[in-house]
Amino acid sequence: MDTIRVRFAPSPTGALHIGGVRTALYNYLLARKTGGAFILRIEDTDQVRYVPGAEDYIIETLRWCGLIPDEGPGFGGNYGPYRQSDRKAIYQEYAQQLLESGHAYYAFDTPEELEAARSAQDNFKYDAATRERMHNSLNKSQAEVKALLDAGVPYVIRLKVPAGEEVLIHDLIRDEVRFQTNELDDKVILKADGMPTYHLANIVDDRLMKITNVIRGEEWLSSTAHHVLLYRAFGWEAEMPRFAHLPLILKPSGKGKLSKRDGVQLGIPVFPLAWQGDTAEESFTGFREAGFLPHAMINFLAMLGWNPGSDQEIFSISELCDVFTLEK
């Protein structure tokens, strides 16, 4: 069996939620348990949501918790760069590959055209049923497309989702999850600014960084359908990583994800370290500042979703590395 390679792939959009720390922890534990590699990848292609200081915060958190990556920005490794904004040219090349193989197309729709389509049809989706009447390369000649590109008309590249197929995912936690492609839209994979979206960058990097297991929060499960379609389009489906989607850490009521507002209301931190936002309302305390030791925090996070099946409740990190399994 290949060496296990897992990654923690946060987006630097603010303080790292405690649930993100748990995702990092489970990845770390699986890597340590199996003699594999734990990789940190910074997914910063969304310029709008980028928050300065967030990457440093993530790295300081991992250091405080003792979850030191084997590869990552500032940690070395043979599969870098590990910050997606430093990999722009790579994604463009792969988007080009999908254009050439007919799995993707140029879309020239202006914001006004998209708005008009949305107001003309309830729940409008840019998909197999609608794309033929939109402003894209599927219904233009090669010469027309070339003329638009030469004239510098802004475009995005969209994935051409096939109609009438099923996507079956064998999730290690959720078991079989099925999606119908007729319900999926033609996701943008490369934006007008030349930056990839999460979907393209994530798939290309998991491939190039030889990731064997994707362990992430359940909120990404629905994206996985598009990810599988991307793997298919590239011809990589047989070597896809194995997926494991973790249940989220919920509010005490059980309804919805534990939010930073809950933390304030309940008087408990939801962040590992204090975060200084622009305003007092956007600033939060952390477990560290509240006086918790990192190992205590790691211990409770480990048990929030995993259980050894015994009465033992206190684990050192090295004990966790020995006993952790995703099955449990």
Cα dihedral: 138, 141, 147, 148 (round 10): -20
69 belongs to the binding site for ligand GLU (CB under 6 A): no
Minimum distance from residue 54 beta carbon to ligand GLU (Å): 11
Query: Secondary structure of the chain in the HEC alphabet?
Result: CCCCEEEECCCCCCCCCHHHHHHHHHHHHHHHHHCCEEEECECCCCCCCCCCCHHHHHHHHHHHHCCCCCEECCCECCCCCCEHHHHHHHHHHHHHHHHHCCCEEEECCCHHHHHHHHHHCCCCCCCCCCHHHCCEHHHCCHHHHHHHHHCCCCCEEEECCCCCCEEEEEECCCEEEEEEHHHCCCCEEECCCCCECHHHHHHHHHHHCCCCEEEEEHHHHHHHHHHHHHHHHHCCHHHCCEEEEECCCECCCCCCECCHHHHHHHCCCCCCCCECCCCCCCCECCCCCCCCCHHHHHHHHHHCCCCCCCCCCCCCHHHHHHHCCCCC
Listed residue (106, 117, 57, 29) closest to 301, CA to CA: 29
Minimum distance from residue 227 beta carbon to ligand GLU (Å): 8
Minimum distance from residue 225 beta carbon to ligand GLU (Å): 13
For ligand GLU, what does the binding mask look like between residues 158 and 197, x meaning CB under 6 A? Answer: ----------------------------------------
The region of 6-14, 112-120, 131-139, 144-152 touching ligand GLU under the rule CB under 6 A is: 6-14
The region of 8-16, 68-76, 172-180, 233-241 touching ligand GLU under the rule CB under 6 A is: 8-16
Total interface residues for ligand GLU by CB under 6 A: 8
Chain mean position to CA 133 = 31
Instruction: Quote the CA–CA distance of 77 and 56 in Å, as a whole number.
Output: 19
The region of 9-17, 65-73, 264-272, 303-311 touching ligand GLU under the rule CB under 6 A is: 9-17
User: Which residues ranging from 208 to 247 are in contact with ligand GLU (CB under 6 A)?
Assistant: 216, 220
Of 27 and 137, the one with the shorter C-beta distance to ligand GLU is 27
- The answer to whether 188 touches 157, Cβ cutoff 8 Å, is yes
10 belongs to the binding site for ligand GLU (CB under 6 A): yes
202 belongs to the binding site for ligand GLU (CB under 6 A): yes
9 belongs to the binding site for ligand GLU (CB under 6 A): yes
The region of 4-12, 24-32, 305-313, 316-324 touching ligand GLU under the rule CB under 6 A is: 4-12
Of 11 and 181, the one with the shorter C-beta distance to ligand GLU is 11
Q: Which residues contact 187 (CB under 8 A, 6 or more apart)?
A: 158, 159, 161, 197, 199, 226
Minimum distance from residue 249 beta carbon to ligand GLU (Å): 14
Question: Is-catalytic flag, 33?
Answer: no
Query: Which of 125, 146, 257, 260 is flagged as catalytic?
Result: 260
Minimum distance from residue 7 beta carbon to ligand GLU (Å): 7
299 belongs to the binding site for ligand GLU (CB under 6 A): no
Minimum distance from residue 10 beta carbon to ligand GLU (Å): 5
15, 30, 40, 43: residue in contact with ligand GLU (rule CB under 6 A): 43
For ligand GLU, what does the binding mask look like between residues 22 and 41, x meaning CB under 6 A? Answer: --------------------
Of 117 and 173, the one with the shorter C-beta distance to ligand GLU is 173
- The answer to whether 302 touches 324, Cβ cutoff 8 Å, is yes
Minimum distance from residue 120 beta carbon to ligand GLU (Å): 33
Q: Which residues bind ligand GLU (CB under 6 A)?
A: 9-11, 43, 198, 202, 216, 220
Active site residues: 260
